[in-house]
Structure 1
C-alpha cells in the first residue's frame, strides 16, 4: 500500500541484458509534486529505470507500485506515433479521453439536430454529461492549446504529417503531446535534445511554473537539473545513490562521499601493507597471542578496493599556431532562395572559444559548413591561416562505418595516436573515452547513441588541429563525459567554434557568443549567463558591466614547517587498538542509513520523521570521517 503522499514506488528492481546486469536491486519512491533528476554515465541504466517506472518495460525481478488512477506521461528518446497523423492530431492523441468525449458530443449534437424521436431526453442528458466531462478534462480549447504548444516547441506547420518529419521534429511533437496531457507524473528522457536555447528556457519556465505534477528528468542539461530538481538519483554500476537537491548540491555531496571512501580505502591499504610486512617477517605471527591481529588483517583485506567508475580523460592536441586562424569577410549565406546571413565579418584568434547560438533553422550548421569550405558562400570569402588545421565534429556524427569496429573507425588504419608530445597506443587512447578492450571490438552499428557520440568525438580529436569546430557536441553525451570535454577545451591553446543548446557548456567553455540576429552575426563577450544578464540590462537601458578577467592569486606565502610528530602515548595506543573496529562500525552505520534513505518505504513515513532523518545521516557521516582521520593520524605516528 502507498500512503497519499507517495505516488510511485520501485522495489528491488533488477534488469539484465545478456550477461550485463544494468540494474541491481534498485529501490526508490516518488512523492506528489516531487522533481527528481536521474543522472549517470551512458549505459548506466538511467533510461532503463525510466522505462520501467513508466511501464514501458518490465523488470526481470522486483516491482513497481503505482497509486490507483495515476496518470503517467513518458517522453522516450524514440517516440512512436500512429501512421498518417498530422502534428496537431498526434498531440491531441495524447488526450484520448478528451478526444473520445468531444467526438461523442459531436455525434450526439448531430443526432439532436435531426429527429431523435423518443431518444430526445436521453440524448439531451448525455450531451450535458459529455459537456461537463469535457470541462473537467481541460475544456473546449484543448485544440487551441495543442496548436500553441506545437508553436512553442518549434513546429510551425501543425498540419504536417508526422511520418515525413525528421527525428528531432518528431521528438518535439511528442514533447507537446506530453505537455498537453498534464499528467500526475511526467518522465522526460533527454527533453532538451533538438530544442534551441530559447525553447529550452521556455520549457524550463513551463515545468517550473505551470506543470504541477511530479517530474523525473533524465537529461544532460545541468541548468535544468540545478534549477528544477529537488532530489538527485545517481545510477552507478547498477546501484542507485540518493542526494538531496539539484546538480550543484549533488556534485558537492558526491565529492564528499567519494573523498571519504577514498580516504578510508587509502587508510586500509596502508594498514594492510604494513601488517602484511609484519606477518612476512614475524615467525610467531600465527601464535595464539597474535591471532586477533592476523584476523584483523584478513578482515581489512576483504574490504579494500571498492570498484569505482573510471572517468573519461580527454586531451586535445593543438598544432603549431599561426597569426591568423580564420578570417571571413562580407559573407552572405543562403540555402536555396533563403538568405540566412548578410555581410558577416568574422576573425578568429588563438585562445578564442566562441559559441554560436540562434533558433532552430536559422543556419548555424550551414554557417559551419561555409567556414570549413564544405559549402560556398553566396558572397564574400573565408580565408584560413597557412598553418590552420581543422577538426570538425558534425552533428550527424558522419564519417563512421557501422560495419567496422570502434578500433578501426577511430584508428583509420593506424594503431598509434600523437597528442602533443605524447604518443599513445590506440587502445590506450580509446580507454580514455571509456571503451575497454571488449567495447573496442564492437561494431559501431551496434552501439547506443551515447557510445556512438563518444566514438565520433574520439575520431575527431585524434588528429592534431588548431581549430576545433563542434556541431551540437553535447547531444547524447552523459554529463561526466561532457565535463571532461569542457576541461579539455578550457586547456586547449587553439581556437574553438561550437554550436550547442547546452547553456552550462557555454558558461564553462565560451569566451564569447556569436548570436544570429536579423541576418547578422552579433558578437557578445562571455558565456550564456553573461549574455542573458546583458539582455536584461539592455532592456532597462543600462550599460552591461564589463566582464572581469580571471583573477590571479597573490604571491603564495611559504608554508610553515610541519609540526614534529610526537610518539603515541599509552592512552593513544589503547585507543588505536579499537579504533579500526570503531571506523568499521561507523561506516556500517552510514551504509545502513543510506540504504534506509534509498528504500522505497522511506517516503511513506511522516514528513516530520523524514526531516529528522537527514541531520542524523549527516552526523553519522561526520563521525565516520572523524574516526577515519583519527585512525590515519595515529597509524602514521605508530612506531614501525
Structure 2
C-alpha cells in the first residue's frame, strides 16, 4: 500500500533548484536511506514527504489517516516543559512503567537524564535525545528522521538500528552514518542534480550499483566517441569497410573490486612514520587520570601503562562521559595526569582536532585561511596545493572565496581539519571529525588519511569511519584500563552487553531488590553462590600476581617490537614480520587481561 506519493514535484531556494520534476513513492514497510552532498536537497525532500514543507509545483499526496513522525534537525521543545511531559505526555506512571518497549527507549536514550529536568536546562545533545525518545514512543505509519545518530554514542546507535529494524512502520532517514544505513535500510535514494536516483539495498549495495552505473556510462561515452571518430573518418575518406562491433561485458558487482588493493599500504606507512617519529611517540607510565582534573570527576585511567608507537592508527571507543576526550587532552598536553607520567617523543608534531571549533578570522577568505598555514603539502607520494585539498573536502570553485563568517558549522569544521593537515603533523588526535560531513566528503577524508604517514588516535561515533580509518581499537570500559579490542566495535558491544547483564544479575541478587521483594512468602530465594574459601582466595591472588607479571612482560615485549620496527624502517619484509608479531602479542595481552578481570570479579576486587 502506498503511503506517500510525489508527482512532478519541484522546489527551489532562491535561484538554486533543489528538486526538479521528481516523482516517487513510499510504500508500507519501506526503509529508505537518503544520501547526497550537503546542500543538494536531502532535508528538503524529506520535509516535503513529511508534509512540513509545500512544493513550489507538483503534488504530494498522503494516504488518508496517515500518521507521520518527523524528527527534524532543530527541535521545538517547550523550554518550560519537563522531560517527562515531553516524552510521556499524560501517561500514568503505571501505564508507561509497565510497557517494556517504553522502558527500553527511556533506558537507551534517556538513562542519564533526569525526567523531572526542564527542557530549557538540557544541553543540545540531551534535547536531541529527548525529542527522539518522544517520537519513538508514539505510534506512526511513517517515521521520518533527519540525522538521528547525532549526539548518540556507538552503543546507542547500535540499539537505535535494532529498534528501527524491528518496528513495523515505514522509515525514511537522512544520515551520513554509513554503518547505520547498511544496518537499517533496504533501499537508498541519492539526491543529486535536482533528481532522486533510486537503488535497492543499503549503503554497500548503493556503492556497488553506483560504480556499475558509472562503468556502463563510461563504456557508453567511449562508444559514442568511437562512433564520432568513425563518422569523421567516413566524411573524409568515404564509407569504411564493415567492422565488427565492440562487445561490452557487464561484470558482476564483486568483479568491480576484485583487483582493488587494500586502502592503505600499512608497512610503507609505518616505515615513513618511523622515519618521521623515531622510536617513541607516546608512553603512558602508571598514569592515573580523572576527567575533571586531579581527583575530580569520573576516573578515566587508574595506574595505566600504554604505548602509542610510530604509524599506529587507533580507534578509541567508550560511552559518552567515559573520558575519551580527556585522554586526547592528556596526549595533547592540555591536561596533566593525577599520577604517573606521559613521555612524549622529541620529534612529535601534534595536531589536535577537538570538539570545540577553533576561532577563525571571520573576515578572511576560506583559501586565505588555509594558505596562511601552508600553500603546499606532501601527502604520501603526491604534493597537494591548499586549493586542491579544499576541493577534496567540499570547497569547490567559488566556495573557496567565501568569507569565513558566512560558513556553516560543518563547513567551519572541515576548514579547521584542513588547517591542521596543512601544518604537516606526524601525530593526529581527532575528536569526532565526521560531525556535519556528508558521505562524499567522508570518502575524500578517508582517502586523504589513507596516504597520511603518521600516528593517529580517533574518537568517532561513526562506526564505519572508525573501522575504515584505523587498524585497531581500544576501549575505556570504566575499569581504569585501556582494553584492546581485537574484534573491533562488535567485540566492544558484546563486552558492554555482558557487563550490563552481570550488573543486572548482581542488582537482582542484592538484598531489598525488586526481584528479592517479589519472592513469595514462604518460598526460599535462590541461594547466592558462596564466596571462595580462604585457601581458594590465596591461590586466586597468587594467580592474579602471575597474570600481572605476564602483562608486564607483554608490555615490555611490545616496547621492544616498536623499537625494532623503527630500526627496520627500510626493510619491508622485516617490518611485516614484526607487525605480525605485534598483533599476536596484542591478542595474547587481551586474553590475559580478560582472565585477570574474571579472576578479580570472583574475588570481588
Give your verdict on TM over 0.5: yes
Counterpart-to-counterpart distance in 2, 1:399 and 1:412: 15
1:152 aligns with 2:108: yes
1:322 aligns with 2:278: yes
Q: Point out the structure with max Rg over C-alpha.
A: 1
Counterpart-to-counterpart distance in 2, 1:508 and 1:16: 36
Q: 1:338 offset after TM fit, Å?
A: 1.4
1:187 aligns with 2:144: yes
The structure-2 alpha-carbon separation of the partners of 1:166 and 1:533, relative to structure 1 and needing over 3 Å to count, comes to closer
The structure-2 alpha-carbon separation of the partners of 1:459 and 1:14, relative to structure 1 and needing over 3 Å to count, comes to farther
Partner of 1:544: none
Counterpart-to-counterpart distance in 1, 2:163 and 2:55: 32
Counterpart-to-counterpart distance in 1, 2:412 and 2:165: 33
1:14/1:26 contact within 8 Å kept: yes
Counterpart-to-counterpart distance in 2, 1:440 and 1:142: 56
2:386/2:422 contact within 8 Å kept: no
Partner of 1:223: 179
The structure-2 alpha-carbon separation of the partners of 1:140 and 1:463, relative to structure 1 and needing over 3 Å to count, comes to closer
Q: Secondary structure at the match of 1:256?
A: helix
Which residue, 379, 383, 393 being the options, matches 2:343? 383
Which residue, 523, 527, 532 being the options, matches 2:488? 527
Q: 1:492 offset after TM fit, Å?
A: 3.0
Q: Deviations over 1:597-635 (max 9, x none)?
A: xxxxxxxxxxxxxxxxxxxxxxxxxxxxxxxxxxxxxxx
Which shows bigger deviation, 521-530 or 359-368? 521-530
Matches within 5 A, 1:537-576: none
Q: 1:361 offset after TM fit, Å?
A: 1.2
Q: Secondary structure at the match of 1:220?
A: coil
Counterpart-to-counterpart distance in 2, 1:418 and 1:486: 16
Q: Secondary structure at the match of 1:338?
A: coil
1:190/1:219 contact within 8 Å kept: yes
Q: Deviations over 1:556-594 (max 9, x none)?
A: xxxxxxxxxxxxxxxxxxxxxxxxxxxxxxxxxxxxxxx
Counterpart-to-counterpart distance in 2, 1:362 and 1:456: 25
Q: 1:66 offset after TM fit, Å?
A: 0.7
Matches within 5 A, 1:184-583: 184-209=141-166, 211-276=167-232, 279=235, 282=236, 320-334=276-290, 335-336=292-293, 337-341=296-300, 342-412=302-372, 414-419=374-379, 422-517=382-477, 518-525=479-486, 527-529=488-490, 531-532=492-493
Q: Secondary structure at the match of 1:347?
A: strand
Q: Secondary structure at the match of 1:400?
A: coil
Counterpart-to-counterpart distance in 2, 1:142 and 1:171: 25
Unaligned runs of 5+ in 1: 103-133, 291-312, 541-551, 553-640
Counterpart-to-counterpart distance in 1, 2:298 and 2:184: 38
Counterpart-to-counterpart distance in 2, 1:314 and 1:405: 34
Number of corresponding residues = 469
1:314/1:484 contact within 8 Å kept: no
Unaligned runs of 5+ in 2: 241-262, 502-571, 573-605
Q: Secondary structure at the match of 1:153?
A: helix
The structure-2 alpha-carbon separation of the partners of 1:486 and 1:432, relative to structure 1 and needing over 3 Å to count, comes to closer
1:46 aligns with 2:46: no
Task: Report the TM-score when normalising by structure 1.
Answer: 0.67
1:351/1:492 contact within 8 Å kept: no
* Alignment root-mean-square deviation, CA: 3.3
The structure-2 alpha-carbon separation of the partners of 1:537 and 1:256, relative to structure 1 and needing over 3 Å to count, comes to farther
The structure-2 alpha-carbon separation of the partners of 1:19 and 1:414, relative to structure 1 and needing over 3 Å to count, comes to farther
